[in-house]
């Protein structure tokens, strides 16, 4: 706090603070200090509270809306990404065409469009006063970049069953990271249902999911990368959840995170020399530009649902939805293409549904117990 205090005093002496004569300090203040006071970081994050008019039915409808939006957005995004990365552009009768192989350039396009959409929405629609220091968004952006890198590198050094178990078991690490990042507490039944969901999804994916033909053996370096992926991914959603303590909107969160994500991705592409090559490829093939734009639209819609879900329900619920998305995608493939679901896979689906029902039942009992615990004030007799 001393360096920050000295910096404020310096700008006051230079008449840059609240005088309108300087342009530097407002930028420094927004990036470093924020625009609103916030409770000390030493205090735990306040629990998420529901308004008085919010009913369980309305909460269930909002959760269903978020889950459906996430499922549709990212299932569509996955199909489009596979099509873009496997399609040959510019193919003719004499030339085979060329494929686009740099997925990081597509990530940059997704981030840029999301940044533009969020910025335009913030300009056109009234938003809450922004109070979070801008640099805090960079932590979520950097951890997201690191988790993606660890995930793709780990695929080279771990077997397919290990990948499935790690992706299906992210719920409990997210809950544990929540205790570290924002000191959020969870009940015992929440850990139990999270474990049951992880077990059920793992059973379904391992028995019904198509295993690749060549699966590498699991090595120590692969396990370390996999642990890094889980840790960084858990930190990202929990840090975003903690940032909502500044009473910002999900669109403001989307703008801040994508701003730093664009900076990190551009820096990485420039270091690799791939930014100009991706731009030239887009200039050569207008069809690729149209496909990449459609992919970016799906990504922007998915991000809107991500930040809204985290803001409304927290990081743990968001992770449960995204974990179930993998099983839902394979189940949908089985229904559409007539693939059979094994007995173990069916048992895994039953475990998942039992865990979800147990979660709903336990939450309902907890709310009823809380209502009964509220003391009823006796009327004061006037003399």
* Rounded-to-integer distance, Cα 112 and Cα 118, Å: 10
Of 103, 230, 233, nearest to 158 by C-alpha is: 230
Nearest to 268 by CA among 81, 107, 139: 107
User: Does some domain include residue 370?
Assistant: no
User: How many other CB atoms sit within 10 Å of the CB of residue 86?
Assistant: 9
pLDDT of residue 266: 92
pLDDT of the residue at 1 = 45
Q: Using alpha carbons, select from 152, 137, 150 the residue that is nearest to residue 262.
A: 137
Does a structural domain hold residue 152? no
DSSP per residue, 144-210: HHHHHHHHHHHTTTS-HHHHHHHHHT-HHHHHHHHHHHS-----HHHHHHHHHHHHHHHHHHHHHSP
Cβ atoms of residues 85 and 99 within 8 Å:
yes
In-domain check, residue 17: yes
Q: What is the pLDDT of residue 65?
A: 93
Q: Which two tokens stand for residue 293?
A: 């734009």
User: Structural domain of residue 15, as residue ranges?
Assistant: 1-33
Question: What is the average per-residue pLDDT within 137-156?
Answer: 87
Is 11 contained in some domain? yes
Residue 97 lies in a domain: no
The mean pLDDT of 50-68, rounded to a whole number, is 77
Asked if residue 25 is part of any domain, the answer here is yes
User: Does residue 181 belong to any structural domain of this protein?
Assistant: no
Question: Using an 8 Å Cβ cutoff, are 361 and 203 in contact?
Answer: no
**DSSP characters for 127-157?**
-PPP-S-THHHHHHHHHHHHHHHHHHHHTTT
Of 205-209, 283-287, 336-340, 357-361, highest mean pLDDT: 283-287
At 97-134, the pLDDT tens digits run: 888 888 888 889 999 999 999 999 999 988 888 888 88
Tell me, what's the pLDDT at 260? 94
23: confidence class by pLDDT, cuts 50, 70, 90: low
Residue 29 lies in a domain: yes
What domain count does the chain have?
1
What is the C-alpha to C-alpha distance for residues 132 and 247, in angstroms, rounded to an integer?
A: 9
């Amino acid at each position: 706090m001393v360096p920050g205090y000295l910096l404020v005093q310096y700008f006051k002496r230079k008449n840059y603070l609240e005088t309108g004569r300087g342009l530097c300090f407002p930028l420094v203040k927004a990036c470093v200090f924020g625009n609103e006071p916030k409770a000390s970081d030493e205090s735990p994050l306040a629990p998420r509270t529901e308004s008085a008019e919010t009913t369980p039915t309305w909460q269930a409808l909002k959760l269903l809306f978020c889950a459906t939006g996430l499922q549709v957005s990212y299932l569509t995004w996955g199909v489009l990404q596979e099509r873009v990365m496997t399609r040959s552009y510019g193919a003719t009768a004499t030339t085979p065409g060329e494929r686009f192989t740099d997925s990081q350039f597509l990530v940059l396009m997704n981030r840029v469009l999301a940044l533009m959409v969020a910025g335009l929405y913030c300009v056109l629609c009234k938003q809450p006063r922004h109070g979070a220091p801008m640099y805090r968004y960079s932590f979520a952006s950097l951890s997201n970049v690191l988790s993606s890198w660890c995930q793709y590198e780990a695929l080279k050094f771990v077997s397919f069953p290990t990948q499935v178990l790690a992706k299906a078991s992210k719920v409990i690490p997210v809950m544990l990271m929540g205790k570290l990042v924002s000191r959020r507490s969870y009940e015992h039944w929440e850990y139990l249902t999270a474990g049951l969901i992880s077990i059920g999804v793992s059973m379904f994916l391992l028995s019904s999911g198509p295993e690749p033909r060549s699966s590498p053996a699991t090595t120590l370096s692969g396990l370390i990368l996999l642990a890094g992926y889980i840790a960084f991914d858990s930190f990202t959603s929990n840090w975003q959840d903690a940032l909502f303590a500044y009473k910002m909107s999900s669109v403001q969160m989307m703008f801040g995170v994508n701003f730093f994500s664009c900076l990190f991705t551009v820096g990485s592409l420039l270091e690799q020399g791939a930014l100009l090559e991706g731009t030239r490829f887009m200039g050569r093939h207008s069809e690729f530009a149209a496909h990449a734009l459609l992919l970016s639209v799906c990504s922007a819609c998915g991000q809107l649902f991500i930040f809204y879900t985290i803001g409304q329900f927290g990081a743990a619920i968001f992770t449960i939805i995204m974990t179930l998305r993998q099983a839902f995608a394979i189940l949908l493939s089985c229904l559409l293409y007539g693939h059979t679901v094994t007995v173990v896979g069916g048992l895994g689906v039953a475990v998942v549904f039992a865990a979800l029902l147990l979660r709903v039942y336990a939450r309902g009992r907890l709310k009823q117990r809380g209502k009964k615990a509220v003391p009823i004030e006796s009327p004061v007799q006037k003399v």
